[in-house]
């Protein structure tokens, strides 16, 4: 396997240089139309190439949403492969939003598809779902660690339906709390080595007091915290600072619609990315 620095180290270096913003690449049909593009694989490719030109080397992390590529079948997957490859060449980190979660050999197959060296769909990190049990993610967590990549585990999401599962409790605590504990344990070795771990969490920027209400301390994770919901979905920088408090240095505010809405002009897209997160 190719030797590369651990994902947490590479991410920390990228955000120190370019800031913590994660730009979502979500080519949904309405956005293609707004950019004057056809809603077909050609329009998808033109959209993706514009995003690469606008953001590669200018933001620390981009997050392509796999669903909006998959809906075009093999032609869309080809565009996704091209997009990941282009960002890879540029040195810009990619977080592929696929939310995979399964068991045993099937989860191992997903892990190889997205986290193995040489895979055409390999990204620097992927999103994963722990709701078949945190232990079911072991193949992805292990392979990510071996290849210097990362995983972001759904923990406290902003969608209203999420609370039904994530906030559920028993005498040992909440489901979300168990997910956070699993990530903390997976990152323990990195903590002892003095760097950020490769197992991150997805914590919605609009969850309000949910973490506090559930007794969850996000400062203990020692992994990156992806915060979708920043920008057009309602959370501003002040809200993110209030929500995460002392955990803020690990937070990656994620914005897609607010930044992409500035397109298709390259300069406008880049300016929107630069201006999205005000910094300290």
Q: Does residue 2 surpass a pLDDT of 70?
A: no
- Number of domains, the chain: 1
Q: Does residue 6 surpass a pLDDT of 60?
A: yes
Least confident of 77-86, 222-231, 265-274: 222-231
Within a domain: 2: no
pLDDT the model gives residue 235: 80
Q: What is the mean pLDDT of residues 199-217?
A: 94
Q: Are 179 and 155 in contact (CB under 8 A)?
A: yes
Q: Does residue 164 surpass a pLDDT of 60?
A: yes
Q: How far is it, in rounded angstroms, from Cα 189 to Cα 171?
A: 28
Q: Where does the pLDDT of residue 1 fall: very low under 50, low under 70, confident under 90, or very high at 90 and above?
A: very low
Q: The domain spanning residue 86 has which CATH number?
A: 3.20.20.70
Within a domain: 1: no
To which H or E segment does residue 239 belong?
Answer: helix 237-244
Query: Which sequence positions are flagged as catalytic?
Result: 99
What is the DSSP code string of 99-111? EE---HHHHHHHH
pLDDT tens digit sequence for 22-71: 999 999 999 999 999 999 999 999 999 999 999 999 999 999 999 999 99
Which residues span the domain enclosing 51?
Answer: 7-276
pLDDT the model gives residue 148: 98
**pTM of this prediction?**
0.97
In terms of pLDDT, which residue wins out, 171 or 231? 171
pLDDT tens digit sequence for 56-70: 999 999 999 999 999
Within a domain: 131: yes
Within a domain: 154: yes
3-state class (DSSP) for residue 263? coil
Contacts of 202 (CB under 8 A, 6+ apart): 127, 152, 153, 154, 155, 156, 157, 226, 228
Q: How far is it, in rounded angstroms, from Cα 199 to Cα 223?
A: 6
* Two structure tokens written together for 103: 């068991």
Q: What is the mean pLDDT of residues 171-187?
A: 96
pLDDT the model gives residue 3: 81
Within a domain: 269: yes
Q: Where does the pLDDT of residue 195 fall: very low under 50, low under 70, confident under 90, or very high at 90 and above?
A: very high
Strands 169-170 and 173-174 turn out to be: antiparallel
Contacts of 46 (CB under 8 A, 6+ apart): 37
pLDDT the model gives residue 73: 98
Q: How far is CA 244 from CA 64, 84, 217, 227, 250, in A?
A: 24, 30, 9, 10, 9
Q: Does residue 110 surpass a pLDDT of 90?
A: yes
Beta strands, E only, the chain: 22-25, 61-64, 93-100, 125-128, 150-156, 169-170, 173-174, 199-203, 225-228, 251-255
Q: How far is it, in rounded angstroms, from Cα 16 to Cα 20?
A: 8
Which one, of 167, 173, 169, 221, lies nearest residue 199 by Cα? 221
Q: Does residue 268 surpass a pLDDT of 50?
A: yes
Within a domain: 231: yes
Q: How far is it, in rounded angstroms, from Cα 110 to Cα 256?
A: 25
Q: Does residue 271 surpass a pLDDT of 80?
A: yes
- Please identify which residue in the block is written with the tokens 């585990």: 153
Mean pLDDT of the chain: 95
DSSP code for 241: H
Q: Are 161 and 187 in contact (CB under 8 A)?
A: no
Q: Does residue 233 surpass a pLDDT of 90?
A: no
Q: Does residue 107 surpass a pLDDT of 60?
A: yes
Within a domain: 230: yes
Contacts of 280 (CB under 8 A, 6+ apart): none
Q: Are 148 and 5 in contact (CB under 8 A)?
A: yes
């Amino acid at each position: 396997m190719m030797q590369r620095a651990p994902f947490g180290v590479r991410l920390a270096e990228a955000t120190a240089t370019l800031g913590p913003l994660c730009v979502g690449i979500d080519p949904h049909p309405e956005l293609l139309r707004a950019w004057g593009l056809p809603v077909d694989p050609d329009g998808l490719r033109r959209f993706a190439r514009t995003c690469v030109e606008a953001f590669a080397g200018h933001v620390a992390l981009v997050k392509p949403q796999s669903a909006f590529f998959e809906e075009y079948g093999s032609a869309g997957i080809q565009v996704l492969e091209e997009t990941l490859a282009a960002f890879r060449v540029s040195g810009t980190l990619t977080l592929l939003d696929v939310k995979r979660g399964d068991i045993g050999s099937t989860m191992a197959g997903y892990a190889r598809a997205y986290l193995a060296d040489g895979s055409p769909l390999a990204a620097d990190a992927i999103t994963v779902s722990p709701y078949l049990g945190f232990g079911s993610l072991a193949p992805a967590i292990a392979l990510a660690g071996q290849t210097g990549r990362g995983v972001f585990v759904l923990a406290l999401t902003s969608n209203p339906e999420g609370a039904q599962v994530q906030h559920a409790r028993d005498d040992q605590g909440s489901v979300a709390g168990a997910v956070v504990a699993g990530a903390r344990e997976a990152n323990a070795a990195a903590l002892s080595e003095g760097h950020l771990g490769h197992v991150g969490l997805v914590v919605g920027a609009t969850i309000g007091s949910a973490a506090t209400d559930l007794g969850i301390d996000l400062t203990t994770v020692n992994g990156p915290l992806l915060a979708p919901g920043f920008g057009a979905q309602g959370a501003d920088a002040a809200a993110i600072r209030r929500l995460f408090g002392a955990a803020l240095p690990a937070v990656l505010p994620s914005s897609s619609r607010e930044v992409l809405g500035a397109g298709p002009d390259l300069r406008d897209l880049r300016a929107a990315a630069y201006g999205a997160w005000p910094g300290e």
